[in-house]
């Protein structure tokens, strides 16, 4: 498990430092482009998804029969999670583009949308608990969701450490 933590922290740091590092001080751009390019975000997200799958495979001990049933479900889960995370990273993009000029109304809307993303992720996990439990026993199902949640929290922590708080724009 120590290996998992170190790799995720390093991967999350690479993801956020490379793409978000200048979000702290970068002013909004007038030319319609984003502070963080969509291409950079897409590449980093693909790398993180690949790393996440590798980490889960290394830490979730599956028999061949279990793996044959589990990985297609995992891929389906990930595809649905990507759609939710598209909204999340859109919010981050919007936030970094507007940071420094954000109004009270924009900040309130951002907060509501961020909470909606968090709720959608929890609902997706709840949806997949019985699906994963059909192919894995209780301990392995719990381990998968524990790993998934820990990885997500580590990435979120890295993101949060790189994004300035709203009030700091004053």
Highest mean pLDDT among 8-12, 125-129, 159-163: 125-129
Phi-psi region of 100 (alpha: psi -120 to 50; beta: other; left: phi over 0): left
Number of other residues whose CB lies within 10 A of the CB of residue 106:
14
3-state DSSP helix/strand/coil % of the chain, to nearest 5: 80, 0, 20
Cβ atoms of 147 and 60 closer than 8 Å: yes
Residue ranges per structural domain of the chain: 2-169
Residue 22: pLDDT band with limits 50, 70, 90 = very low
Distance CA 134, CA 154 (A): 28
Distance CA 33, CA 170 (A): 23
- Average pLDDT over the chain reads 80
Rg (CA), the chain: 18
pLDDT average, residue stretch 103-130: 94
Number of other residues whose CB lies within 10 A of the CB of residue 116:
14
For 159, the token pair is 């993101």
CA-based nearest residue to 84, from 132, 127, 123, 43? 123
pLDDT in tens, 38-97: 666 666 677 788 889 999 999 999 999 999 999 999 999 999 999 999 999 888 888 888
């Amino acid at each position: 498990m120590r290996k998992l933590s170190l790799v995720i922290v390093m991967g999350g740091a690479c993801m956020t430092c490379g793409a978000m590092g200048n979000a702290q001080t970068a002013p909004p751009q007038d030319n319609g482009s984003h502070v963080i390019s969509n291409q950079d975000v897409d590449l980093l997200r693909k790398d993180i998804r690949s790393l996440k799958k590798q980490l889960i495979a290394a830490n979730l001990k599956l028999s061949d029969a279990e793996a044959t049933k589990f990985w297609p479900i995992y891929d389906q889960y990930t595809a649905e999670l990507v759609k939710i995370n598209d909204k999340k990273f859109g919010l981050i993009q919007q936030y970094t583009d507007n940071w420094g000029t954000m109004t009270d109304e924009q900040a309130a809307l951002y907060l509501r949308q961020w909470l909606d993303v968090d709720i959608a992720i929890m609902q997706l996990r709840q949806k997949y608990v019985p699906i994963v439990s059909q192919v894995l026993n209780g301990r392995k199902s719990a381990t998968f969701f524990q790993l998934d949640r820990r990885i997500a929290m580590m990435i979120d922590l890295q993101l949060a450490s790189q994004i300035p708080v709203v009030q700091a724009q004053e």
